[in-house]
Structure 1
Amino acid sequence: MRAFVLTAPREFEVQDLAPPTATPGSVVIDVQRVGVCGTDVEFFTGEMQYLHEGHARFPIRLGHEWMGTVATVGDDVDPSWIGRRVTGDTMLGCGVCRRCLAGNQHVCEFRYEVGVRNGFAGALAEQLAMPVSALHALPDTVDDVLGALVEPGGNALRSVWGANLAAGDRALILGAGTIGLLAAMFAKSRGAEVHLMGRSERSLNFARALGFDGVWSESKLPDLPWDAVIDASNAPALPAKALELVEPAKRVVYVGLAGSPSVIDTRTMALKDVTCVGILSASPGLAGTIEAYASGAVDPRPLVAATVGLDGVGAILAGQRFDEAGDGPKMHVDPRI
C-alpha cells in the first residue's frame, strides 16, 4: 500500500509498504479521508515535544484525524464490523493501569497515540490497523468530510464542556483556526453569544462569514464581560491574556499549545476565583461530536479548504496553499487519489 512517511524534519516520501493485517482484537480499515493538523506540522518542522522527550522518533507515519471503512477483522472480532464506516480514538491506553481503569485512558502514561506517539502508525496511508475497542461507527448522516472532523471536533466539544457555557453566556475564543472555529460552533449551538479573536485578516474574514456575534483582532477587542475564555491558539502570551480577560468566578479553558512555555500568574487566578481547565484529547467527546454532526446541530464542513492525495501532503505540511483551496483552515487528504 502507499503511505506518506516523514523520515526526518522536512524530509518525506510516499512509500510502498506492506499492508497491515487484522490481528486479534483489531481491524484493518480502508482509509477514505484524513485531516492534517498543527501537531503534524510540528512533527514536520521537528518542534514537536514528543520528539525531544523520546515518545516519538523518525520515521513516522502521521494521521490521527481520519475516517474509513472496515475491510477485514481479526479472528475474535465480530464480523459485522466489515463494511461499516468508522472513525476512531487517537488515544490508546494500556487498559490495565489506574488511569485506564478509571476511564481516563487518554492520559495513560503508557498510551499509544495514533500517528503521534510510541510508533503507532497513522492514517496517512491507504490502510490503517486499529483496535476494535477504539472504533466509533459513523451514521449515514455523517459523511466522509464530517467523519474526518470528529477528532478535532471532540477536542472542541470538550473545551465547551470545560467552559460550562449556558444559553445567553458570552464566550470569547482565542484563535480562529480549526479548533477555535469548532469550539465557537459548539458554543453557538448551546445558545451562547460567541466572539473570536484572531490574527490574520484572511482567517478573521472567514470567521465573520460563518456568522458569529463578533470577530476581532486583539487591538479591536471590545471591553466586554466574558463568562468564559477558551484559548485555542498557539501563542505563548495568550494563556495569560485569557486569565486577564475572563470575568471573576468564571472559567478559562486551555486547549491550544504553544511551541514554547506559557506563563500565567496564579495570583490572578486565585484572586479572581477563576476555574482553569486543561484539555488534552478528544476521547471523551467523540460520541457527542458524532451526535452533534449527525443531528445537524454543528456542521463544520465549510472549514475544509481542499482535499488532496498523498502526494500533496508534504506541500501542506510546508505551509503551501493550493490555488483552488478555499479560505477554511483545514486541509484533508484522500489516500485513494
Structure 2
Amino acid sequence: MSTRPMRAFVLTAPGKYAVQEVPAPVAAPGEAVVDVERVGVCGTDVEFYTGAMAYLHQGHSSYPMRLGHEWSGRVVSVGEGVDPVWVGRRVMGDTMLGCGACRRCRRGHQHVCEKRQELGIRGERAGALAEQLAVPVSSLHVLPDSVDAVLGALVEPGGNALRAARATALGPGDRALVLGPGTIGLLVAMFLRAAGAEVHLMGRSDNSPAFARELGFADVWTEKTVPDLPFDAIVDASNAVQLPGLALELVEPGGRVVYVGLAGAPSRIDTRTLALKDVTAVGILSASPGLDDTIRAYADGSVDPRPLVAATVGLEAVGPVLAGERPHGAGPGPKIHVDPRSG
C-alpha cells in the first residue's frame, strides 16, 4: 500500500504546532480518501490550540492531533465494500461519527452517540487540515455543482445554524433576536431571514454589528441598546456565560430560547422563569441532521454565506490564525478558510 507523504497541520501541545510530512491515508474497508480543497477554522480549533477544550481534560482528545472538521473536497479512492461510483464526487462530511450499533445510533442520533468519534476533535480520527483525509463513506454528503468548495466547507457550520433557526419555529410575522454575530450567529440570522422572520442581532461591541449591517441586517444592537420589543424566539450563539439567562429574560412568554453557543464556564438559567413564562428551551449540538437541507439552501441561493469568509490561507498560516492573528488583507468576515494544497 502507498505510504507516500503528504502535508498536514499538527497541533503538538497548547500553542505548539508544525506543518509536517505524514503518511497519506489509505482507504480502509467502508472508507473513502478525499483530496481536501477547503477547511474552515473554528472556535473549537482555537480551544484546542489554547488547551482550554474540555475534551482534553475529559480524556476524549489528546496531543498530538490534526484539527479540521469543516471541509470540502473530492473523493480520489475508496476502500473495500465501497461503490467505485464515489470516486470523483465532490463531497463534504459529517463531523460526528457514531458507533452505528448503540440505541442512539439506531434511532438516527449518532451525533450524541456515547462512543462517537468527532473528526479532528474527539477520538483518533484525524481532521481535514491536510492534503488528504480518510473518512467513512457513510459520513459523506454529495455537493451539487452550484455548491463550490467555499460553500462546501460552510455546510457544517451551516447545519448547526439551520437546526438552531428551525428550533425557533418562526416564520413570517415573527421576530427573532440572535445573540452573538459570529459565524454561527450570522448563519442563524440568514436562515431565519430566509424563513421570513424579522431578525435582530446583538453583539458585544460596536465593531461586530457593522459587518452584520453589511449583510443586510439593519437591526443590530449591543446589550445596552437592545430595544424593548416582543421577541418570539431568542437564539444564543455566543460564548458569554451571562447571555443564556438574558435570553430567557428577554423572550416573550410562550416563546422559545435556543442554545447553540457554549460558554467556557457553566451558564445558569432560572427554571422558575422558564416555567412561569411557559418558554420552550432547546439545545442544539451538531449539524448532522441538517446537512442535506443546508446543502439545498446553498444550492438554491436562499442562503449565501460566502461573505462570511474573510481570507483563505495555506497550512503554514493556520498556527498564527489559531493564535488570533488576522491574515494580511483579510476582509471583515469572521471565518478563515484554509486551502491545504496552497503554499
**TM-score, normalising length from structure 2?**
0.97
Measure, in 1, the Cα distance between the counterparts of 2:43 and 2:228: 30
Q: Structure 1 counterpart of 2:270, which letter?
A: D
Measure, in 1, the Cα distance between the counterparts of 2:238 and 2:335: 15
Measure, in 2, the Cα distance between the counterparts of 1:109 and 1:230: 26
Work out whether 1:167 is the aligned partner of 2:192: no
Work out whether 1:67 is the aligned partner of 2:72: yes
Question: Which secondary structure state, in structure 2, belongs to the residue aligned with residue 39 of structure 1?
Answer: helix
Task: Please name the residue that 2:193 is paired with.
Answer: 188
Task: Please name the residue that 1:135 is paired with.
Answer: 140
Measure, in 2, the Cα distance between the counterparts of 1:222 and 1:153: 28
Task: Please name the residue that 1:80 is paired with.
Answer: 85
Task: Please name the residue that 2:235 is paired with.
Answer: 230
Q: CA deviation at 1:203?
A: 1.5
Taking only the aligned residue pairs, the percentage that are identical comes to: 70
Measure, in 1, the Cα distance between the counterparts of 2:59 and 2:153: 28
1:104 to 82, 95, 109: 109
Task: Please name the residue that 1:122 is paired with.
Answer: 127
Mapping 1:291-302, distance limit 5 Å:
291-302=296-307
Q: Contact 1:193 / 1:213 at 8 angstroms: preserved in 2?
A: no
Work out whether 1:259 is the aligned partner of 2:264: yes
Measure, in 1, the Cα distance between the counterparts of 2:224 and 2:173: 25
Q: CA deviation at 1:87?
A: 0.1
Name stretches of at least 5 consecutive residues in structure 1 with no aligned partner: none
Work out whether 1:176 is the aligned partner of 2:166: no
Measure, in 2, the Cα distance between the counterparts of 1:12 and 1:230: 35
Task: Please name the residue that 1:304 is paired with.
Answer: 309
Question: Which secondary structure state, in structure 2, belongs to the residue aligned with residue 75 of structure 1?
Answer: coil
Measure, in 2, the Cα distance between the counterparts of 1:75 and 1:271: 57
Task: Please name the residue that 2:332 is paired with.
Answer: 327
2:151 to 146, 154, 158: 146
Task: Please name the residue that 1:21 is paired with.
Answer: 26
Work out whether 1:269 is the aligned partner of 2:267: no
Work out whether 1:4 is the aligned partner of 2:19: no
Q: Structure 1 counterpart of 2:309, which letter?
A: V
Name stretches of at least 5 consecutive residues in structure 2 with no aligned partner: 1-5
**TM-score, normalising length from structure 1?**
0.99
Q: CA deviation at 1:141?
A: 0.4
Q: Note the alpha carbon deviations across 1:208-232, whole angstroms, 9 max, x for none.
A: 1111140011111101000000000
Q: Structure 1 counterpart of 2:134, which letter?
A: A
Q: CA deviation at 1:120?
A: 1.0
RMSD: 0.6
Question: Which secondary structure state, in structure 2, belongs to the residue aligned with residue 15 of structure 1?
Answer: strand
2:209 to 196, 204, 213: 204
Q: Structure 2 counterpart of 1:336, which letter?
A: R
Q: Contact 1:202 / 1:327 at 8 angstroms: preserved in 2?
A: no
Q: Note the alpha carbon deviations across 1:144-178, whole angstroms, 9 max, x for none.
A: 11000000000000001111111111000000000
Question: Which secondary structure state, in structure 1, belongs to the residue aligned with residue 310 of structure 2?
Answer: strand
Measure, in 1, the Cα distance between the counterparts of 2:172 and 2:26: 48
Q: Structure 2 counterpart of 1:155, which letter?
A: N
Question: Number of paired residues?
Answer: 337
Task: Please name the residue that 1:32 is paired with.
Answer: 37
